[in-house]
A = this chain, B = another copy of it.
Amino acid sequence: MTDHKKQRYKLTVEYDGRPFCGWQRQADVPTVQETIENAIKAFCPNDDILVQGSGRTDAGVHAVGQVAHVDISRPMTADKLQGAINFHLRPHAVSIVKAEAVSPNFNARFCAEQRHYTYRIINRRAPLTFERGLAWHVRHPLDVRAMHDAAQVFVGTHDFTTFRAVACQSKSPIKTIDELSVERIGDAVLFHAHALSFLHNQIRSFIGTLKLVGDGAWGKTDVVKALKACRRDALGLNAPPDGLYFMRVDYPE
């Protein structure tokens, strides 16, 4: 153990979720959190290293801008820290894209003001090549205008019991969705979701539901009905993790 005063760092993290059983450390399975903690322990063997993320991601979910914080007693610049963690992360598909020294008051989870996710469907007949595990492949044409319109049912403050996993640990099913938009760019159908926080599986439950609307199987009134039901078994479909990306977290200046 050392007597150095510890410095807190904010880390911005990108990862390919395919090889991981999610962010959160668990016994006997590979997780992103443990992978980063082990990389830091390699050059900070005397610290108890705890990497605290702004939020968990499920197995197979990706990130380009997950944020975490960590306290380290070994004196080093944020630039050196970034390089050292990335060196020890090899060969894992996890990368520290930014490291910043921050005040001990910064908390990646509790200071977050807005979380941004994007979900990607590749909507074409042909099988995927580059995008396997990186998008949801839907073969028949989706009605993106109807999906965007139905998505607005979720915007605002609602009881989202229908759209949370049974295992969800949140005390309340009530959340406020600030934005949920759907756009087509070529073969890709992109969903953008912004909120202070989300329930477990909430975005994937939204996407699965909106896919039914894009199919023509559900109308907007079915979506309203599912929301009002406040029962998990009223959910039409949960989307696979493949297409979900944790994009960004906003913090106060």
Task: List residues of A whose CB falls within 8 A of some B CB.
Answer: 14-16, 62, 82-83, 86, 89-90, 93-98, 124-130, 132, 134
Contacts and interface: CB of A to CB of B under 8 A. Distances in A.
Contact of A14 (B90, B125, B126, B134): B126
Contact of A90 (B15, B86, B127, B130): B127
Nearest to A87: B127
Contact of A130 (B83, B89, B134): B134
Contact of A126 (B97, B127, B128, B134): B97
Contacts of A130: 14, 16, 62, 93, 134
Contact of A94 (B86, B95, B125, B129): B129
A129 to B, nearest CB: 4
Contacts of A62: 130
Contact of A96 (B89, B126, B128, B132): B126
A93 B126 contact: no
B86 A126 contact: yes
B16 A89 contact: no
Contacts of A82: 125-126
A93 B132 CA distance: 9
A132 to B, nearest CB: 7
A82 B93 CA distance: 34
Contacts of A14: 126, 129-130
The 7 closest A-B pairs by CB, nearest first: A93-B129, A97-B126, A95-B126, A16-B129, A95-B127, A95-B129, A14-B129
